Structure 1
């Protein structure tokens, strides 16, 4: 690009990838993938099934899974899981907290299901403001015990905005919690959920193409109940049938062929997390990195956090608004220096940057990123 600001090499981070998904992968994981003999072998045979068993066991350990809960794997990402929930977990009507793009997309998926009633939607600050409403908080909290509601759905975290929501049980139905981009980055009490679901391309530093759900006995029973309901007339294709995913998972396999490379990366990352100290250690890492960015934003009058309430600021994805500076110009300058993927969420339409602080991001690299931001901004 013309008029490139050349950042001194001693300021540059060692790892220059800060994308919110796909996320930065540890080189040791990539080396393990390159050395593996599992690639190109049958996923129905013992070596791959043993890998799946190890991943399921390790995830259960990482999340201190309560008795009766199961680690369920399915083909497709978290977006596919919304269709799974609409097909085989929501009985008649769901309620949705919407405070960003991904919560809205889940509600839209359910709205299009012909066998379900229109969902009840609680709009939080970001989504409500977009429709001209005023709210005191960026986060929509769902009221429980709503008549006719059998499933309560909310994101634990919005990847699009970097907004954090408390994970707490809503009474009166199944609790389906979207943890796509925060699972593995913070501590959580899984007993407060019935389905805590996520993908691998965020904190777990793998690839897309698989969803994982930590499912309570109530969720397992609900899927079977819906499948066996007489005269329901509901068509559930196997790939969207949660009971089929559960049946395969306890056999340490998926319904259809998975990405074996993805499983290798995912399992290696979980083993690393456990060796480093589990979720407590991962949360310490993410909060240290994100604190660097929030403190940097507080130090410069030209920028401010997109999420103003500190209690709702994400430790894993930080969004920062630019006031009198063109964020696209800053992003382009950093990319020209090899620092990539701090672009904002495409559909949000904000003049901002979005920076991942997943467990693989070292605090020193986040500190180097802010130094590079200072260097570029001061020279524009």
Structure 2
């Protein structure tokens, strides 16, 4: 039985990438050393590192005046690093509260003494729609923080908020490389790799050169300027995770790039949303205009039915569709590596489940 993994992260990987990793495990590039044991200072890894950075720059059309930095610690660490590095003039940031991870970003900024103004929140609507930026006073905030895709709640920005002269900082973890955004609209982007880019353990930061190096004596492991100077090798980087990301980046190029990924993701999510919108049993609670392409949330309204569905889905090879505990119901994460066939199988299963349920009631 084919298994389709709808987990929110760590998530499904391209089959071709897994096969390449399998081939490289015993001896990478005929070196006699496993990819898991090559030195980060070796020529072997230098080639991996440089190619991964260049492929990312090509795919995202990252201008030359932006740094690509590789960190560990997930975006949770970047919720601390970003305000430490970037909130250096007003020591105050603005935030659009679109869900759990946006709220967490605000909490972490406060912990390092940065004032956080929540300009809009949709918490009262259970985060079923995106907050709206009505106005952003000039010369007030160091940056506006947004979460481009809310993994838990199933919302995503298609049109970015207009911030004028204020820098925009985006946590792009769950739709990084899966939806096209103009990097030039951001002062900085952060993204954990474990959704669309590879395995857990790597976090990418893309930041414009003129924004870094303005704060002295930062802790080394969160200092953007230091990591730029050391080419992300201030300490031992996550070698295996960078290698895996490099393979995914090459796979993305082979597939046609980010625009093609977004087209496929729209096709996959459209198939599932169309079913949900015409279902009598299931509901997709997110406002249509704000729906995520990559994390589709749906419910029956009955936790017992939801639990039964999740168990039966797993028996049919459709695993990890249980929703986050704060939302309940189900969630299907349709990252780049999820094939269209997987979504077809899910819709077929949901159709049969609904038919059987109606037959019993």
Instruction: List per-residue Cα deviations over 1:339-360 (Å, max 9, x = no partner).
Output: 21111123x233x211111111
Say which SS state the counterpart of residue 108 (structure 1) adopts: helix
Structure 1 partner of 2:238:
259
Moved more, 256-265 or 39-48: 256-265
Matches within 5 A, 1:157-196: 157-165=149-157, 166-196=159-189
Q: 1:272 to 1:29 in 2, by over 3 A?
A: same
Rounded Cα–Cα distance in structure 2 between residues aligned with 1:189 and 1:373: 36
Instruction: List per-residue Cα deviations over 1:186-216 (Å, max 9, x = no partner).
Output: 1111111111221111112x11212112212
Matched, 1:273 2:255: no
Unaligned runs of 5+ in 1: 1-8, 228-234
Rounded Cα–Cα distance in structure 1 between residues aligned with 2:10 and 2:47: 26
Unaligned runs of 5+ in 2: 29-34
**Aligned partner (choices 73, 82, 86) of residue 85 of structure 1:** 82
Structure 1 partner of 2:47:
50
Rounded Cα–Cα distance in structure 1 between residues aligned with 2:38 and 2:322: 38
Structure 1 partner of 2:32:
none
Matched, 1:40 2:37: yes
Rounded Cα–Cα distance in structure 2 between residues aligned with 1:218 and 1:94: 18
Matched, 1:356 2:333: yes
Q: 1:87 to 1:54 in 2, by over 3 A?
A: same
**Aligned partner (choices 267, 281, 290) of residue 312 of structure 1:** 290
Matched, 1:128 2:124: yes
How far did residue 128 of structure 1 move? 3.3
Relative to the length of structure 1, the TM-score reads 0.85
**Aligned partner (choices 184, 194, 198) of residue 201 of structure 1:** 194
The answer to whether the 8 Å contact 1:157/1:314 transfers is yes
How far did residue 338 of structure 1 move? 2.9
Say which SS state the counterpart of residue 119 (structure 1) adopts: strand
Structure 2 partner of 1:61:
58
Matches within 5 A, 1:328-343: 328-343=307-322
Say which SS state the counterpart of residue 332 (structure 2) adopts: strand
Moved more, 316-325 or 43-52: 316-325
Q: 1:185 to 1:136 in 2, by over 3 A?
A: closer
Matched, 1:25 2:38: no
**Aligned partner (choices 144, 147, 151) of residue 143 of structure 2:** 151
Rounded Cα–Cα distance in structure 1 between residues aligned with 2:239 and 2:69: 16
Matched, 1:226 2:215: yes
Moved more, 101-110 or 47-56: 47-56
Q: 1:261 to 1:136 in 2, by over 3 A?
A: closer
Rounded Cα–Cα distance in structure 2 between residues aligned with 1:142 and 1:73: 34
Matched, 1:366 2:343: yes
Moved more, 368-377 or 311-320: 368-377
Structure 2 partner of 1:286:
265
Rounded Cα–Cα distance in structure 2 between residues aligned with 1:174 and 1:319: 31
Q: How many residues in Structure 1 have an aligned counterpart in Structure 2?
A: 344
**Aligned partner (choices 126, 130, 134) of residue 138 of structure 1:** 130
Rounded Cα–Cα distance in structure 1 between residues aligned with 2:60 and 2:40: 25
How far did residue 324 of structure 1 move? 4.5
Say which SS state the counterpart of residue 378 (structure 1) adopts: helix
Rounded Cα–Cα distance in structure 1 between residues aligned with 2:337 and 2:3: 10
Matched, 1:100 2:121: no
How far did residue 109 of structure 1 move? 0.5
Q: 1:215 to 1:75 in 2, by over 3 A?
A: same
Matched, 1:210 2:241: no
